[in-house]
Amino acid sequence: MTTTVTGTEQVTAAEAADLVKVYGSGDTAVVALAGVTVSFPAGQLTAIMGPSGSGKSTLMHCLAGLDTVTSGEVYVGGQALSELNDRKLTELRRDRVGFVFQQYNLLPTLTAEENITLPLAIAGRKVDPAWFDAVIGAVNLADRLRHRPTELSGGQQQRVACARALITRPAVVFADEPTGNLDSHSSAEVLAFLRRSVTELGQTVVMVTHDPTAAAYADRVLFLEDGRIVDELAEPTAESVLDRMKLLEVAAHAADDSAGSGGSAAHDPASI
């Protein structure tokens, strides 16, 4: 799917159109996504932030075709997911989407190299040596390829997981709190790699994080609240992200307070 932005063709790697996700039904129904419309341009790193329970994981899972949607549509690389049967959806997840999880999820019996090339082996595809070298170079793991996960630090394991996510040249990589288990030094290495994969290798990354320092590596930060995108910030710095988070928190408390007092303060004559 392509959209024209100020005269230049901009390719969209993934997109959600009026996405609604409701878990359960009746009295116990939980609206996790309340109509999210967003597009992720190719060649950008986007961070998604928001309080716990705001719908970050649900949005990522729906975008990645890991969860069904209640209504609305998801596009990956221009393909509407609702048009795919189970087999085609599995293939799309395998070939067009990369995942990085907080827990690395590497296979312990395989070497780093075997873990990285596993998605290609499963798909019956050959390794492109030039792309393999580019990814390994960017992830700085050339001298660790024969090691097994237990012989690698947490940061190295997560870099292996990042390389595995990129080896198929997916339309988009989804990273769910990729630095959640790492110390600040290892976090910086993983984030630098995700940034390089976008800037130097032209990949597209969508990353959920609660850490303003991590979000500062992104081109754009989206803020979720109660299943809606409530704000966004371009070219973020850790300071500007932190400032925006504080403002959103104040606004959310004000909304809670006015809801608690029976209506909006702006409409209460006594408050003027």
Interface ranges with ligand ADP (CB under 6 A):
23-24, 30, 32, 50, 52-58
Q: How far is the CB of 260 from ligand ADP (least distance, A)?
A: 20
Q: In a 10 Å sphere around its CB, with 0-12 CB exposed, 13-18 middle and 19+ buried, how is residue 7 labelled?
A: exposed
Helix (H) or strand (E) holding 268: none
**Identity of the residue, 94 or 228, whose beta carbon is nearer to ligand ADP in the bound complex:** 228
Q: How far is the CB of 57 from ligand ADP (least distance, A)?
A: 3
Residues in CB range of 168: below 8 A, 6 or more apart: 94, 95, 96, 98, 119, 120, 123, 125
Measured distance CA(198)–CA(25) in Å, rounded: 40
**Identity of the residue, 99 or 193, whose beta carbon is nearer to ligand ADP in the bound complex:** 99
Q: How far is the CB of 6 from ligand ADP (least distance, A)?
A: 33
190 neighbors 155 (Cβ within 8 angstroms):
yes
Number of Cβ within 10 Å of residue 124's Cβ equals 6
198 neighbors 138 (Cβ within 8 angstroms):
no
Q: How far is CA 176 from CA 76, 132, 207, in A?
A: 18, 23, 6
**Identity of the residue, 50 or 119, whose beta carbon is nearer to ligand ADP in the bound complex:** 50
DSSP SS3 for 145: coil
Q: How far is the CB of 208 from ligand ADP (least distance, A)?
A: 7
CA 116, distance to chain mean position in Å, is 20
Q: How far is the CB of 230 from ligand ADP (least distance, A)?
A: 13
**Identity of the residue, 56 or 164, whose beta carbon is nearer to ligand ADP in the bound complex:** 56
**Identity of the residue, 33 or 139, whose beta carbon is nearer to ligand ADP in the bound complex:** 33
